[in-house]
Amino acid sequence: MERPAHILVVDDDPGIRSLLGEYLERNGFRVSLATEAREMRRALESSRPDLVVLDVMLPGEDGLALCRDLRARSRLPVIMLTARADELDRIIGLEMGADDYLAKPFNPRELLARINSVLRRSRALPAEQGPAHRVRFAGWTLDLASRQLVAPDGVVVSLSGAEFRLLSVFIEHPNRVLDRNQLMDLTLGRESAPFDRSIDVQVSRLRARLRDEGREARVIKTVRNEGYVLAAAVERLN
């Protein structure tokens, strides 16, 4: 029998912690609760959660800083909770390496759906240990297991979780135009909301990583009124 996934909920609001803890347990998850950074780190050391639900507004170290620190050391999936429906908050959360975000107030059923979606995507990724799975495109090399991107001149370029997922989607669909809804669905498991331009920001940041900025972008091209395309052949090395 498969063990239940372990969810760590980090939120300083006791009502939300209690609600989410009880709701997730009723839906078959094992749940740990933390109120701030120190408790979160203790929980990470004492157990191995499968996913962290992390509030942005925490006393002391905020959730964005904690997410960035966690992502630097681990591929543990993170869903950010924000009290403000501010697009900038969502974009910054994704840039820090969050796998998804949800604005408060929210329906616990929606969080449950996001958790299940992120866990499915996480389990589909290559294991952190084991043989490398590398691809080459436009002179760049990406190791899908370590998430290491190497430039044509040999320089190693770091990627956030959001940038890695977006680049992986382009690599899986080379020379095919992908619109914003397709990119949101393939990276976050849902369609974009009206006026949500987080994908455009992520494409811009990914282009910066690929030294592909400006009007003459050659690797990830903009197709006017349609979307974006990885305009390069992809070679699978192993």
- pLDDT for the residue numbered 132: 42
CB 170 within 8 A of CB 220: yes
Mean pLDDT score, 99-121: 88
Task: Work out the mean pLDDT of the chain and round it to a whole number.
Answer: 84
Mean pLDDT score, 85-106: 74
Q: Could you read off the pLDDT of 180-194 as tens digits, one per residue? A: 888 877 776 554 454
Residue 80 lies in a domain: yes
What's the structural domain count of the chain? 2
CB 149 within 8 A of CB 157: yes
Residue 129 lies in a domain: no
Give yes or no: residues 10 and 63 share one domain: yes
Final residue of a structural domain among 71, 96, 124? 124
Give yes or no: residues 207 and 100 share one domain: no
CB 31 within 8 A of CB 21: yes
Could you give the CA distance from residue 170 to residue 158 in angstroms, rounded to a whole number?
A: 17
Mean pLDDT score, 201-222: 86
Residue 186 lies in a domain: yes
Residue 175 lies in a domain: yes
Quote the domain boundaries for residue 71. Answer: 6-124
- pLDDT for the residue numbered 129: 41
> For the domain that residue 37 is a member of, what is the CATH number?
3.40.50.2300
Proportion of the chain above pLDDT 90, given as a percent: 41
**Per-residue pLDDT for 237 more than 80?**
yes
Final residue of a structural domain among 101, 124, 147? 124
- pLDDT for the residue numbered 181: 82
Q: Could you read off the pLDDT of 122-168 as tens digits, one per residue? A: 775 544 444 447 899 999 999 887 778 999 999 998 887 778 888 98
Mean pLDDT score, 200-220: 85
pLDDT higher for 140 or 76?
140
Q: Could you read off the pLDDT of 3-58 as tens digits, one per residue? A: 899 999 999 999 999 999 999 999 999 999 999 999 999 999 888 899 999 999 89
pLDDT higher for 130 or 94?
94
Give yes or no: residues 192 and 105 share one domain: no
- pLDDT for the residue numbered 87: 62
What φ, ψ does residue 78 adopt, rounded to 5°? -135, 130
- pLDDT for the residue numbered 124: 58
> For the domain that residue 227 is a member of, what is the CATH number?
1.10.10.10
- pLDDT for the residue numbered 138: 94
